[in-house]
Amino acid sequence: MKKLPVLTIILLILFGKTGIFAEAIKTTDAKVSKATVYLSGAQLTCATDFTAVPGINHFVFEGVSPNLDKNSIQASAKGNFVIMDVKFETKFNDQPKKSSSKLVDRALKAANDSLVMLNFEMEELNEQLSGLVTEKNILLNNRLLKGESLRDTLDMFKEGIAFLRQRLINISTETTGLKKKIFYKQELKQTLDLRIAALNKVNAASEAPVQEAEQTIVVMVYAEAAATAEVSVSFFVQQAAWLPSYDLRANTNGTMDLSYKAELRQQSGMDWKNVALTLSTGNPSQSTIKPELSPFYLSFVQNFRAKYKNEIRETVAAGALSKITDDEKMPKDIMADAPTLAEFISENEKMIQTEYDIKLKYSIPNDPNIHVVAIQNKTLKSTYKYSAVPKLDLNAYLLADVNNWSEMNLLPGNSRIYFDGNYLGTSVLNPEASVDTLSLSLGRDRALLVSRKKLKDKTKERIIIDEKTISITYEITVRNTKSFPVKMDVTDQIPLSQDPDIKIALINGDGSSLDAETGILVWDLSLKANESKKLKFTYEVRVPKNKNLAGL
């Protein structure tokens, strides 16, 4: 495709409109040849060959998605000509014909379904907005802000005021973003209401002759001589998405088989038949604008109220940058997938996203069903151990630790867990929360017996002058009834104090490790076949003698 001078292009456009140059119009049915599916939305490409005549040519792609983003339309071509313009048009049939009741019913059902989902989304946004209003009212009615608490110190008051200021600013920002989302949702709802009303009128008068509307993309090109042109158009649609899901199959030989899959659906208004499919971890619906910090001011306590009201007024007036996202939740029913498809996928890690190119052609109809595409199959090394938290559950759980997890570039998603071919249940796999090692719980093991009891004869209370000391001892018993040794960790805890009058100390941990910030005690055990071990820990609590403890 060669380039023409700007002046020549302008003259061609003007003369083309006045009829000085002949114009050729050629049409084709738009068929999706390539689809790049994001976590929310998809970029679709339609391509075909046209025969261009000398002069101005209009290449029309008929039947494109009515939901496409007009600002995202692009055109490209290969051949001896120049692209002059590309635009989205709604075409009406020249000859009126009777409407098809099936076509109208299908369009009416799709519009009503969209309205139902939109109402749910608006209800959810209103609930979030109501929650923020409630939180703001609670903060503004706080005893600390009103000066009703006589025990609060000046330092506590300053810290409370700083927290209130920052939280209320955040609430204002979040509220503004939600109101923007609700505004655009209401506009979309009005459009759907008008469309449903129009379809109902058409349905009521189905025997009357009507004109059918069809969405098209028109590419205008200029050719100096007759040539064959390969023209493609691409555009973005919001009504498509994919979510990651996983199958984790643990084996007793110390390996973990991971199946990484995509649950994909599309309701773009076009069927995808034998398309080149790419899955991207990007999300064009999210804002690309980097957030900016606002100035953070300090003031004296006595001047805080007036200054704070001014800051809130300025924040509400100025608003905040927000980007509306319409990440749709997908249904949970899953169609059967082809496990060998992962062999035909290549992974391309880019600067800000990862793309998975599927080398096989794929067909995905325009429907609400979920279609599963296999992305990766990997075998990982894992180590097994047992773990128990007898304070909460008198069972031992088998855990599988998978190393080098962060190297796989995975996304959070639902997972189905199997062990030695047996289905154990579902879980949520969150690689973002795991640094390098992922621990998976594979279920209870009844062969490890665990008990926990409070030793009454070791629990003592004594009073020295104005202070009362309480000593408490717990005993944990673990027994391995298996015919082979196992490794196991046992977790318990001691209480913590936020009151300076309550002092807590671990007297005897019986070989456990203590996390002073959480009060968590952990024992690492090696149990031989049919071996039992008893673990004891004692902690001491000191309080004023005239006060009673809650929750001890």
pLDDT digits (tens, 9 = 90+) for 98-122: 545 677 777 888 888 888 888 888 8
Is 342:259 a contact under the CB 8 Å cutoff?
yes
Is 40:265 a contact under the CB 8 Å cutoff?
no
The pLDDT > 90 percentage for the chain reads 21
Instruction: Give residue 419's identity as a one-letter amino acid code.
Output: F
Is 284:42 a contact under the CB 8 Å cutoff?
no
Q: Is the pLDDT of residue 473 over 90?
A: yes
pLDDT of residue 528: 93
Q: How far apart are CA 195 and CA 202, in angstroms?
A: 11
In terms of pLDDT, which residue wins out, 457 or 47? 47
This prediction has a pTM of 0.55
Is 484:526 a contact under the CB 8 Å cutoff?
no
Give the CA radius of gyration of the chain. 33
Angle between helices 304-318 and 154-204 (to 10 degrees): 20
Interval 518-540: pLDDT, tens: 999 999 999 999 999 999 999 99
Is 46:283 a contact under the CB 8 Å cutoff?
no
How far apart, in Å, are the Cα atoms of 466 and each of 295, 453, 462, 539? 51, 31, 11, 20
In terms of pLDDT, which residue wins out, 297 or 51? 51
Mean pLDDT of 220-226: 88
In terms of pLDDT, which residue wins out, 285 or 278? 278
pLDDT of residue 350: 54
Interval 126-144: pLDDT, tens: 888 888 888 778 777 766 5
* Mean pLDDT lowest among 122-126, 207-211, 311-315, 503-507: 311-315
Beta bridge partners of 474: 454, 537
Tokens of 128: 């979030």
pLDDT of residue 383: 84
Mean pLDDT of 408-425: 82
Q: What share of the chain is helix, strand, coil (3-state, %, to 5)?
A: 25, 45, 30
pLDDT band at 336 (very low <50, low <70, confident <90, very high): very low
Tokens of 143: 């005893």
pLDDT of residue 286: 67
pLDDT of residue 339: 40
pLDDT of residue 323: 35
Q: How far apart are CA 412 and CA 46, in angstroms?
A: 32
Tokens of 529: 């076949």
* Mean pLDDT lowest among 144-148, 488-492, 494-498: 144-148
